[in-house]
Amino acid sequence: MNISELQRLNEYSFEIGPIRPPSEGGKYSLLVRVTRNCPWNLCKFCYGTLYNRERFELRPLEEIKRDIQTMKFISDDLTSAIRKLGYSLVQTELHLVSSPSVITVFNWLASGGRTAFLQDADSLIMRTSELQEAIRYLKQTFPSIQRITSYARAKTLAQKTKSLEDLKELRKAGLTRLHVGLETGDDELLRFVNKGVTSEEQIAAGRKVKEAGIELSEYVMPGLGGKTMMERHAKNTAKVLNAINPDYIRLRPFVPRRGTPLFEECEKGKFELTSPHERLREIRMLVENLDVTSRLCFDHFVNAWYREPHRNYPLFKRDFEGYKLPEEKNKVLALIEEGLAINESTHIHVRDLMKIPYL
Ligand code: SF4
């Protein structure tokens, strides 16, 4: 292949879903879309945004395999181009390629080709045998892949039809980590945001994942209870997390998204957003009540508290491994005190985060 032939790669394309967690290699994960959209799509803070209002669809196994085959063609062609022309030249000339599929595979290869993320919102809703086969096929096609992760709904995981044996089979096939949106452990707040799951189901789901030997990331949304449910949100979330003891607790403070029912409620003054200091106090309550060995992560810029007036230094580190509990609990609590001692206007108010168009 010479450099002008790079354009030929534009013929290749496979389906790519809209989102994946930043902790999964960011733009460096191989993205394999196994379902389309979210089978629930009714959470009040999300409806109509992440997956628009698109209908949920299971993708036939043959279609998923075809996508993986296309990834293999792209990967083989890129690998031979890199061997022949050198990595730097291919990287420089990649502007000749407009296919997002090719860019995805290039980034994935450049980062070592080790991680893959199964899209979209609830891959575990697939029949276990089919998901297992998709994972096996992916690993067989790309033996360099060491980590395969996905999103899953707690409701799906808690169901009797998704047994512990099913999860163990998936682990055996190569599924290494699941990302679950816990948001809150408080049943009243779960009902309010229409999450479609109870705290009891969240606990059952989380424990099942852990027992199957699959790593678990639970996402928590500080601020979701507004001013009125702040305390019960923090305390009951800690209770649920204590009962699960996930590997990771990832904080994603609530930012109302335009077009969602909760955004409308905020606009009409029916939901009172908490201030940066109130959110820190809520997180303090959560952390004080945690009795886990998880890693607590602030790995998103919506954790918008700072140490300096000029906002150059985030209060909490934003890496994907965060703080190890309980060893670093006091460190996190000390940082919270530091954030509370700083003038509140140093931190970014959620109203300002709402102005960011891509959030
Ligand atoms: S389950 Fe997740 S993706 Fe689906 S509506 Fe709720 S938050 Fe959005």
Q: Is the CB of 9 under 6 A from ligand 1?
A: no
Residue 347 has pLDDT above 80, yes or no: yes
Tens of pLDDT, residues 130-148 = 999 999 999 999 999 999 9
Q: If you average pLDDT over residues 293-318, what whole number do you get? A: 92
More confident residue, 165 or 356: 165
Residue 294 has pLDDT above 80, yes or no: yes
Best probe residue, ligand 1, of 35, 38, 44, 263 (max atoms within 8 Å of C-beta)? 38
The Cβ of residue 341 has, within 10 Å, a number of other Cβ atoms equal to 8
Residue 179 has pLDDT above 80, yes or no: yes
More confident residue, 316 or 309: 316
More confident residue, 32 or 97: 32
Confidence of residue 77 (pLDDT cuts 50, 70, 90): very high
Task: Say how far residue 285 (Cα) sits from the centre of its chain.
Answer: 24
Q: Is the CB of 43 under 6 A from ligand 1?
A: yes
Tell me the average pLDDT of the chain. 94
Q: Give residue 92's pLDDT.
A: 87
Q: If you average pLDDT over residues 338-343, what whole number do you get? A: 94
Q: Is the CB of 17 under 6 A from ligand 1?
A: no
Confirm if 345 and 306 have CB atoms less than 8 A apart: no
Q: Give residue 26's pLDDT.
A: 64
Residue 115 has pLDDT above 80, yes or no: yes
Q: Is the CB of 181 under 6 A from ligand 1?
A: yes
Best probe residue, ligand 1, of 19, 36, 41, 201 (max atoms within 8 Å of C-beta)? 41
Q: Give residue 48's pLDDT.
A: 80
The number of the ligand 1 atom at minimal distance from the alpha carbon of 39 is 4
**What does pTM read for this prediction?**
0.94
Q: Give residue 42's pLDDT.
A: 95
3-state secondary structure of 119: strand
Q: Among 23-37, 208-222, 231-245, which is the least confidently predicted range? A: 23-37
Confirm if 232 and 186 have CB atoms less than 8 A apart: yes
Q: Give residue 27's pLDDT.
A: 67
Confirm if 240 and 270 have CB atoms less than 8 A apart: no
Q: Give residue 199's pLDDT.
A: 98
Q: Give residue 1's pLDDT.
A: 67
Q: Which residue has the CA at smallest separation from atom 4 of ligand 1? A: 41
Q: Which residue has the CA at smallest separation from atom 5 of ligand 1? A: 41
Centre of ligand 1 to C-alpha 1, Å, is 44
Centre of ligand 1 to C-alpha 42, Å, is 7
Centre of ligand 1 to C-alpha 176, Å, is 21
| Contacts of residue 288, Cβ cutoff 8 Å, sequence gap at least 6 | 238, 333
Residue 215 has pLDDT above 80, yes or no: yes
Tens of pLDDT, residues 18-72 = 888 887 766 689 999 999 999 999 999 998 888 888 899 999 999 999 999 999 9
Q: Is the CB of 119 under 6 A from ligand 1?
A: no
Instruction: Name the CA radius of gyration of the chain, rounded.
Output: 21
Q: Is the CB of 197 under 6 A from ligand 1?
A: no
Q: Can you tell me the distance from the alpha carbon of 109 to that of 221, in angstroms, rounded to the nearest whole number?
A: 33
Q: Give residue 204's pLDDT.
A: 98
Centre of ligand 1 to C-alpha 343, Å, is 35
In 3-state terms, the chain is what percent helix, strand and coil (to 5)? 45, 15, 40
More confident residue, 160 or 21: 160
Query: Phi/psi class of residue 284: alpha, beta or left (left: φ > 0; alpha: ψ in -120 to 50)?
Result: alpha
